[in-house]
Amino acid sequence: MESKVKFSQVIPEKSYRDFVELVEDRYGLQLKWYNRSSLMRRLLKVMDQFQVNDLYTLMLLLSSDHKYYEKFLDRFTVQVTDIFREPKGWKKLRELVLPLLRKQEQIKILIVGGSKGEELAALCIMLKEESLLDKTEITLSDLSESALRASQRPSISKTRIKEAELNYRMGGGKSNLYDYYQSTSSLCYFDENLFANVERLHFDITQSELGKKYDLILCRNLLIYFQSQFQHLPLARLVRHLNPGGFLSLGEQESIAFYKGHENLQIVSSSQKIFRQNLISF
């Protein structure tokens, strides 16, 4: 309640609505899908960083030059990520999903909201260890262009490497994480050869479709930023991108509760939020 009062004092309702409309009209991004209080909080942060006092001034900046919109996206999106984040989910993918995908001649995987590429690195390492990397085409997508640029050379800070090694092991890793990276004084860069079959793509799940289908889609820790009343829209979009029998992996805190086509999905792991589209496509 306290924060509601504070937000409405700093960001009047009318300017908030005008801002959401401008971003949708000009750039297609549906800000209204996002949780309102965290969106407000991040808008205040963006205003502070852009050194503007009101949303109308921010609107002028965003409509004057695309580069400001890119900067806005960088500050507005939460790009927190981790290699082998939620390791039990990786283990389930390895144990329950890869044995079925292995039977295919070629495998197509899409990552939505992949941030700076740590999730991609985990996926490629897992596929390599299962001898599936060479026959897999991977598309890494995100709303943020700068996150995609960083994903060209996935790395993690040396200070996080012990935790990463632990998560890798808990995620079913078969070797040692250090087999897959080279370190500098502060960063560990993952081996470029892991990413030979990776295409990077700007993709906003609130506005468009890719016109392709995939055998596995990872969309982890993105839906949590959307209000529950809108979650059926991205979920339906993700399911439309699945081949019959294709798999969908969400974040541990996420669910398909708001998806209106439950009958199209089977549960593969309820704790790790892995689902499979029925073999007979709707």
Ligand X SMILES: C[S@@+](CC[C@H](N)C(=O)[O-])C[C@H]1O[C@@H](n2cnc3c(N)ncnc32)[C@H](O)[C@@H]1O
Q: Which residues bind ligand X (CB under 6 A)?
A: 77-82, 85, 112-115, 119, 142-144, 147, 203-206, 220-222, 251
**Burial of residue 57 (number of CB atoms within 10 Å: 0-12, 13-18, 19+):** middle
Rg over CA atoms, the chain: 20
- Bridge-partner residues for 190, per DSSP? 181
Measured from the CB atom, the residue of 144 and 277 that comes closer to ligand X is 144
**180 closest CA partner among 192, 170, 171, 172:** 192
Q: Give the shortest CB-115-to-ligand X separation in angstroms.
A: 3
Beginning with the edge strand found earlier in the chain, give each strand of the sheet holding 136-142 in spatial order: 198-202, 136-142, 107-111, 214-219, 242-250, 274-277, 265-269
Please, which residue, 119 or 215, has the CB nearer to ligand X?
A: 119
- Shortest Å distance, C-beta 30 to ligand X: 8
For residues 114 and 172, which CB has a smaller minimum distance to ligand X in the complex?
114
Nearest residue by C-beta to ligand X?
113
User: How far apart are alpha carbons 206 and 78 in whole angstroms?
Assistant: 16
Looking at the Cβ atoms of 10 and 78, the one nearer to ligand X is 78
* Min CB(141)–ligand X separation in Å: 7
> From the CB of 169, what's the least distance to ligand X, in Å?
18
User: What is each CA distance from 199 to 15, 108, 141, 148, 149, in whole angstroms?
Assistant: 38, 11, 8, 10, 12
Nearer to ligand X, 46 or 222 (CB): 222
Shortest distance in whole angstroms from residue 1 CB to ligand X:
27
Which CB sits closer to ligand X, 135 or 160?
A: 160
Q: Are strands 198-202 and 242-250 parallel, antiparallel or unpaired?
A: unpaired
Burial 212-227 (b: 16+ CB within 10 A, else e): ebbbbbbbbbbbbebe
Q: How far is the CB of 105 from ligand X (least distance, A)?
A: 28
